[in-house]
Amino acid sequence: MITTRESINYQFSIIFGYSSPNDIIVGDVIGPSKLTREKVNHLSEEVISYLRMFNAILRDFTGSELYNIEFELDNFNRKDASLKIYPKSMILTPGSYKECESLLLALKPETGFLNLHKSKESVDEISKLFFSVEEFSNHPDLLKQESKVLLQEFASRFSLRLFGELIENKWNKKLIGVKISMPTEREMLDTFGSITSDVSYVWNKTPVEINFENPKYRKLESNLDESASIDHLSYSVSATSANYVVSKTLELGANLIGLANAGTVDDSKEKVVLFILKQIENKFKLIKENKSAEWIISETYKNLKGLGEKCSLFLKESENFIYSGQTGPLGALLNNYRTFIFKHVETNDFFNELCGVMINSISHYIHKESQHIRASDLNSSFQYFTEIINSSFSLIQEFLPIYLSKLMLKKLCFKFISNLEDEFDKEQKPAVVLGKRILKDFKLFIENQIEVNPLIRENLSKYDDLKLINEFKKTIRKNLSDYFESIRLNISDLVAFAEIQMESDPDLIKEHTEKFKNFSQELHFLLTYILRYSTINRFLKENPENEISDPVTFSSKFYRFLEKRTGGIQLDWRDYILDWINDYAKKFFKVEENRSWKLNEILYDFLNYIENRETKEQEIDSFLNFLDTYIAKNSNDINKIAMLEFYKKFEYSKGISTEFPKYIQNKIETKINLIPNSPEELNP
């Protein structure tokens, strides 16, 4: 068969969703998947909920909403990607008309060719059409469920229209002839800042979690004149907000690709695979003792062979029914099919359940209302189901060694960390608590490495115990040094460590130590709150340039603004971070600091000050200085003896921030060599 570009396009999918003012959500999925209506509606609801959450973040942090977004997709399995066809692009296009919202999530075979404005106009037009349907569905004689059925019919129709426009490339950019420059073209946009960051992946979560780490924001020189630059301040985005939005954009992409992948699943195949696995599981339930992985694989293959013979008999009798010449309505024909099958095969749970899966599959994908459907009309559905059964057996047989290999590596990891935790139980209590916390994080890290281990990613044809044990040791040795060098114990860790070491009762100062544990997290949250668009940009719009002539005036006005705006926030460190605003003003009380200021200079200087201040406050040495000041200020309201002891214990704990992780690293290095090379047995 020749694979044309058009047939390749059809292999990819779209998810269309619509939300009505009456809180009715409907949608459709088009592509290689075959999903039930319930799952289609669930996918539509999930995509809409992600869009709403992301737009809420954009409004709060940047004062904007999503117009259109395209993600470039990269397959981490290079070998697999070179042999199979995968989408290169994922687009999310929202649309709206009055109170009606629509959206399109689509996978495409190429990236960079989409005209965002054309796709946006099409989805907006669909929202407009839906508004007309919505007005009709508000008829008093229609119940809400009936309105939903009506809207669902139009959702299926409109999604086909969008899919047609997508695969016919009607939204693509014009690559030859006269091209029109759109406002969103790269050459038409000005860049005011850039972000560089480390990115890590949590492979053992579904969908894969993408973490945005150690971001560095660089403000670029602006070509705007003085007047335009000042106007631009009201719409600018702070570095803190930009970093947050980028991290949430990565999170959005990960969640959407998870939903898009779900949209390519064949519901019938999933049921067949689960059915086969259930039959094997029932066989293994009778076995109580542990067995080797090789034994489990051998027995599974024997069971698969036996189940395959039963399925072949079932499919043979199904084929005989196809040529039986029977006719009638679909429901009656399927009842006759069940009766026919059980005349020729044994009546038991296996055939009864398999027959049910087959009938359920046909019921979803045959939509004939004729009263005279021939049995031969079901031939294509039977052939399709036959392929599903055959491919399901192949799938289980192919991935069983991979599954057991991954399971064995995770069991090795669990046992290894458990042995280390038992070692720490012999230590003093402070070391036990902190040590187990670090080991827990290390276990998650190793499990994440197992997910992308080349030994697992390669399509294993044979299970090898000894090779897996050596691979586990290799994985730990390879990552151990880098992992423990990257560990940074934070203020909360050291507060808890110091608290446990106290000889006096920690409850005497518990009110204060609990606040200290929230110190880092609350400071960062309050900083993001102050610098988000809905706070600082609103302040700038309410206070024109001519009312702010210097940093002291800015600080005074901004302090009063924040005092009102944060009045309802019940956080321990709210007043402390507001004091930073006053501290900024104190910098300019000296005569030598007096000079003429422009508003943009004041703002950028303030942003630089408060972001650096927050970074500095998160350092352990700075927190120690803060503790000293805190004790002096609150000497009348605290148990001073207990607090001074806590201070000394925290000061002592500073040293463990680097030494304790090294201590754990040495313990792990010693334990690696003690891992036996004998294979672990499993409970089938």
Question: Looking at the predicted structure, is the pLDDT value of residue 264 above 80?
Answer: no
- Which range, of 160-174, 394-408, 623-637, averages the lowest pLDDT? 160-174
> Predicted confidence band at 181 (pLDDT cuts at 50, 70, 90)?
low
- Per-residue tokens: 345: 């095969």
Residue 79: its pLDDT value, please? 65
Which tens digits make up the pLDDT trace of 449-495? 998 887 776 656 688 888 889 999 999 999 999 899 888 889 999 99
Segment 115-137 shows an average pLDDT of 88
SS3 string of 285-303?
Answer: CCCCCCECHHHHHHHHHHH
Segment 333-358 shows an average pLDDT of 88
> Predicted confidence band at 33 (pLDDT cuts at 50, 70, 90)?
low
Residue whose tokens read 């940009």: 537
Distance of alpha carbon 444 from alpha carbon 269, whole angstroms:
32
Contacts of 32 (CB under 8 A, 6+ apart): 10, 11, 12, 13, 264, 266
Query: DSSP assignment of 553-571, as one string?
Result: HHHHHHHHHHHHHTTT---
- Per-residue tokens: 127: 């929202």
Question: Could you tell me where the DSSP H helices lie in 589-639?
Answer: 599-617, 620-633
Q: At 195, which amino acid appears?
A: I
Which tens digits make up the pLDDT trace of 275-292? 999 999 998 888 888 888
Task: Tell me how far CA of residue 198 lies from CA of 12, 211, 212, 213, 215, in angstroms.
Answer: 31, 8, 6, 5, 7
- Per-residue tokens: 377: 């009309």
Segment 505-512 shows an average pLDDT of 91
Mean pLDDT of the chain: 86
Candidates 21, 12, 37; CA nearest to 127 is: 21
Residue 620: its pLDDT value, please? 92
- Which range, of 20-24, 147-151, 409-413, averages the lowest pLDDT? 20-24
Other beta carbons less than 10 A from residue 77's beta carbon: 13
Task: Tell me how far CA of residue 426 lies from CA of 340, 375, 420, in angstroms.
Answer: 69, 73, 10
Distance of alpha carbon 176 from alpha carbon 202, whole angstroms:
42
- Confirm if 260 and 17 have CB atoms less than 8 A apart: no
The 8-class DSSP code of residue 181 comes to: P
> Predicted confidence band at 77 (pLDDT cuts at 50, 70, 90)?
low
Question: Looking at the predicted structure, is the pLDDT value of residue 176 above 60?
Answer: no
The 8-class DSSP code of residue 212 comes to: E
- Residue with the bigger pLDDT between 85 and 232: it is 232
Distance of alpha carbon 436 from alpha carbon 490, whole angstroms:
16
Chain-centre distance for alpha carbon 436: 27
- Per-residue tokens: 571: 């956080």
Segment 229-252 shows an average pLDDT of 88
Question: Looking at the predicted structure, is the pLDDT value of residue 78 above 80?
Answer: no
Within 13 Å of residue 160, how many CA atoms lie on the same side as its CB? Answer: 5
Question: Looking at the predicted structure, is the pLDDT value of residue 107 above 90?
Answer: no
The pTM score is: 0.85
- Residue with the bigger pLDDT between 596 and 249: it is 249
Which tens digits make up the pLDDT trace of 566-622? 988 899 999 999 999 999 999 888 755 567 888 888 999 999 999 999 999 999 999
- Residue with the bigger pLDDT between 65 and 116: it is 65
User: β-pairing, 193-202 with 209-219?
Assistant: antiparallel
Chain-centre distance for alpha carbon 134: 33
- Residue with the bigger pLDDT between 653 and 227: it is 653
Query: What DSSP element (H or E) covers 394?
Result: helix 379-424
Distance of alpha carbon 333 from alpha carbon 453, whole angstroms:
50
The full length of the chain comes to 684
Residue 2: its pLDDT value, please? 40
The 8-class DSSP code of residue 182 comes to: P
Question: Looking at the predicted structure, is the pLDDT value of residue 222 above 80?
Answer: no
- Which range, of 361-370, 435-444, 579-588, averages the lowest pLDDT? 361-370
Candidates 176, 211, 679, 614; CA nearest to 412 is: 679
Question: Looking at the predicted structure, is the pLDDT value of residue 167 above 70?
Answer: yes
Q: At 550, which amino acid appears?
A: D
- Residue with the bigger pLDDT between 534 and 136: it is 534
Distance of alpha carbon 430 from alpha carbon 501, whole angstroms:
6
Query: DSSP assignment of 91-155, as one string?
Result: EEEEEEETTEEEEEEEEESSSS-B-HHHHHHHHHHHHHHHHHHHHHHT-TTS-HHHHHHHHHHHH
Q: What percent of the chain has pLDDT over 90?
A: 39
Question: Looking at the predicted structure, is the pLDDT value of residue 1 above 50?
Answer: no
End-to-end CA distance of the chain: 43
Chain-centre distance for alpha carbon 676: 37
Residue 88: its pLDDT value, please? 84
Question: Looking at the predicted structure, is the pLDDT value of residue 3 above 80?
Answer: no
